[in-house]
A and B are shown apart, each in its own frame.
Chain A
């Protein structure tokens, strides 16, 4: 296995970013119709959890999920995904979510199933906190109170459980295609 970023790995990360965008578009359409900020993220938690864990499993290199999520968030600039169209902080948010997945995978690299579940659950549990942290940074009144509210254990745990299901689903999908030539080719 080559150590650096090969063309195949880069293109695969870009393609997974594009796939993440396409799977998020139905949520974006609902967010566009209702106009509720960050609603698309809440709707797309399943595809997000699956794709973050799958990216780390398919391209087991630190930075793979960050690259995939950054590509996704840049592609999402003109769309009502992760905030309104043209909302530049969405790129930072995307990169942070990806980095979170990469860090989790770095520590649990050898236990793929656990890593997958942890990536899904941590990214889902922290997503509202990161979004509200951005709200606090932008001076949104009551952001701190809302963060305190979200830090309630029950909400945190339910987010983590839902994310863990998505992460586990990601692992199941990966285990089905793990031994195909395409995966071996991307990983080589």
Chain B
């Protein structure tokens, strides 16, 4: 379920290092889109289209996944600008439109990151970043726990249904919501903690110490990563230069 946006393809963008993707798609390029003068926005749109084509995802697939963000955000930001921005109507509309493009670029870079990054790369990436490994391991365990907890939740819901529990969310059942939540949450919570204790016992028995040293998975930036980072930094510098 957590992989719902990830699209596996053999492309140069997919094969970039996690940190290159993280820095470029979630930090450098969105930041550039937000601070760049309006004249630079077409360049950023062009960069985005090139990235999308290079990732082999396809415009149609991308639009299917993002239209539900782009359409309401464009309408919402323009309406907010028309209502609250200073100036005459035309100025307010143009300001709203430019801001909408900035938001769309921000979201688009984020979505493309999610589409080209396998979620399992994220904890590995955090471990390599020399952050205290206890947090990296915790994050990794979080990922590992998702399918385990999902399975347990389905089992618990089935068990409660077998005992006659009516698990339906409707306005009629609203007064019963709190006892229903409690009747599900208690076994779910207990089961989650039971699994986590078992997992921590496994880690402890293998000698894991949150304050000790561990071997970090190897990872070096390739030539493509450096080129990609360099281009993103250039774009950010261009965005920072204010027009005379």
- A residues in contact (CB < 8 Å) with B: 4-8, 10-19, 21-22, 25, 32-37, 46, 50, 54, 58, 67, 71-72, 74-75, 77-80, 84-88, 138-142, 145, 165, 169, 172-173, 176-177, 180, 182-183, 185-186
Checking B2, B114, B188, B211 against A86 with a beta-carbon cut-off of 8 angstroms, the contacting residue is: B114
Closest A residue to B92 by CB, please name it.
Answer: A141
Q: How far apart sit A84 and B115, CA to CA, in the bound complex (Å)? A: 13
Q: Does B34 lie at the interface of the complex (its beta carbon under 8 Å from any beta carbon of A)?
A: yes
Q: Contacts A75-B146, A86-B109 known; A14 to B185 CB distance under 8 Å? A: no
Q: Contacts A18-B145, A79-B2, A85-B114 known; A141 to B85 CB distance under 8 Å? A: yes
Q: Contacts A5-B134, A14-B138, A15-B192 known; A84 to B210 CB distance under 8 Å? A: no
Q: How far apart sit A45 and B192, CA to CA, in the bound complex (Å)? A: 20
Inter-chain contacts of A22 with B (CB < 8 A):
146, 149-150, 153
Q: Judging by beta carbons under 8 Å apart, are A186 and B197 in contact?
A: yes
Checking B3, B95, B110 against A84 with a beta-carbon cut-off of 8 angstroms, the contacting residue is: B110
Q: Does B6 lie at the interface of the complex (its beta carbon under 8 Å from any beta carbon of A)?
A: yes
Inter-chain contacts of B189 with A (CB < 8 A):
19, 54, 173, 177
Q: How far apart sit A14 and B200, CA to CA, in the bound complex (Å)? A: 11
Instruction: Write 11 A-B pairs (CB below 8 A) sorted by A numbering.
Output: A5-B210, A10-B135, A11-B203, A15-B142, A21-B142, A34-B68, A72-B142, A86-B110, A87-B107, A88-B26, A141-B83
Q: Does B50 lie at the interface of the complex (its beta carbon under 8 Å from any beta carbon of A)?
A: no
Q: Judging by beta carbons under 8 Å apart, are B196 and A12 in contact?
A: yes
Q: Judging by beta carbons under 8 Å apart, are B193 and A58 in contact?
A: yes
A49 CB, min distance to chain B CBs, angstroms: 11
Q: Does B182 lie at the interface of the complex (its beta carbon under 8 Å from any beta carbon of A)?
A: yes
Q: Judging by beta carbons under 8 Å apart, are B197 and A12 in contact?
A: yes
- B residues in contact (CB < 8 Å) with A: 1-6, 25-27, 30, 34, 66-69, 71-73, 77, 80-81, 83-85, 95-96, 99, 103, 106-107, 109-114, 117, 119, 122, 126, 134-135, 137-139, 141-143, 145-146, 149-150, 153, 177-178, 181-182, 185-186, 188-190, 192-197, 199-200, 203-204, 208-211
Q: How far apart sit A84 and B203, CA to CA, in the bound complex (Å)? A: 34
Inter-chain contacts of B3 with A (CB < 8 A):
78
Checking A12, A34, A177 against B200 with a beta-carbon cut-off of 8 angstroms, the contacting residue is: A12
Q: How far apart sit A12 and B203, CA to CA, in the bound complex (Å)? A: 13
Q: Judging by beta carbons under 8 Å apart, are B25 and A140 in contact?
A: no
Main secondary structure, interface of B, reads helix
Inter-chain contacts of B196 with A (CB < 8 A):
8, 11-12, 14-15, 186
Q: How far apart sit A36 and B210, CA to CA, in the bound complex (Å)? A: 40
Inter-chain contacts of A173 with B (CB < 8 A):
182, 185-186, 189
Q: A7-B209, A77-B114, A141-B80 are in contact. List 4 more A-B contacts (CB 8 A).
A: A8-B197, A11-B138, A74-B122, A85-B114
Q: Judging by beta carbons under 8 Å apart, are B178 and A15 in contact?
A: no
Closest A residue to B153 by CB, please name it.
Answer: A22
Checking A6, A37, A86 against B25 with a beta-carbon cut-off of 8 angstroms, the contacting residue is: A86
Q: How far apart sit A42 and B138, CA to CA, in the bound complex (Å)? A: 27
Inter-chain contacts of A77 with B (CB < 8 A):
26, 113-114, 122
Q: Judging by beta carbons under 8 Å apart, are A7 and B200 in contact?
A: yes
